[in-house]
Structure 1
């Protein structure tokens, strides 16, 4: 699949290009991004270059990992990385991180909403999932504002810094989808 470009009121979501590596590298120096996402720790310049020139383009080419950088329309600043990763037929995982300087301004919500809408429309997704390590309260708040229903906590789902951590999981159904079972 060819990468898409999505536009919102204040953002442009587009495929990363090589010249974005410096902004990605700077954003990923944030300890929260390194702790709460699968970003390498420590995050090196080579990691950013690999993301923008190899990982993201390959994800689009293989139609499995649809990674877009979100950039402000007014000054071009990197807001963050937003992706939909294919889990099963019609089911994708929403993943994101936001640059520390861009948090608290509604940009991540705006970018995530645009990507979710695109996933339901263009990818024919019937379900989106969101996963976050317990304790990543900002990620959970964003997911809930998007309409994700937190469906459970998975005990010791993965190790981070050598220690097991619990994870939250949530789901968002396509508009008009079935209501959650009670």
Structure 2
């Protein structure tokens, strides 16, 4: 699948390109991103270069990871990375991280909503899932504002720094879909 570009009132969501590596590298120095998301720790410049040039392109080419960088329309600043990853036919996982300086301004909600809408329409998704490590309250708050229902807690789902961590899981059904009317 070819990458898409989505526009909202304040943002442009587009596939990352090589010139975005500096912004991705700087953003991923945030301790919260390194703790709560599956980025390498420590996050190196090479990791950013691989993410924008290799991982993003491969994800789109394989029609598996639909990664878009969200950038402010007014000044081009990186807001964050937003992705829909295919899990099963019609089921995608929403993943995201946001630049610390851009948080709290509604940009992440705007970007994630645009991507979710695109996933339901263009990808034919009937269900979106969201996963976050217990304790990542901002991620949970964003998911709930998007309309996700927190469906449970998975005990010891993964290890972070060698310590088992619990994860929340939530779901968002396609508006008007058969399952959402039961």
TM-score normalised to the size of structure 2?
0.98
Residue 180 and residue 36 in structure 1: after superposition, are their counterparts in 2 closer, same or farther (change >3 A)?
Answer: farther
| Paired residue secondary structure (1:24) | helix
- Report the counterpart of residue 22 of structure 1 in structure 2: 22
Task: Kindly tell me the number of residue pairs found equivalent between the two proteins.
Answer: 181
* Structure 1 vs Structure 2 CA RMSD: 0.8
Q: C-alpha distance in 1, partners of 2:25/2:180?
A: 41
Q: What is the CA-CA distance between 1:103 and the residue it aligns to?
A: 0.2
Contact 2:174–2:180 (Cα < 8 Å) also in 1: no
- Report the counterpart of residue 133 of structure 2 in structure 1: 133
Matched, 1:99 2:99: yes
- Report the counterpart of residue 180 of structure 2 in structure 1: 179
| Paired residue secondary structure (2:39) | coil
Output aligned runs, 1:31-180, within 5 Å: 31-177=31-177, 178-179=179-180
Structure 2 spans left out of the alignment, 5+ residues: none
| Paired residue secondary structure (1:108) | helix
TM-score normalised to the size of structure 1?
0.98
Q: C-alpha distance in 2, partners of 1:4/1:16?
A: 11
- Report the counterpart of residue 9 of structure 2 in structure 1: 9
Q: What is the CA-CA distance between 1:180 and the residue it aligns to?
A: 7.7
Q: C-alpha distance in 2, partners of 1:112/1:4?
A: 15
| Paired residue secondary structure (2:180) | coil
| Paired residue secondary structure (1:39) | coil
Contact 2:71–2:79 (Cα < 8 Å) also in 1: yes
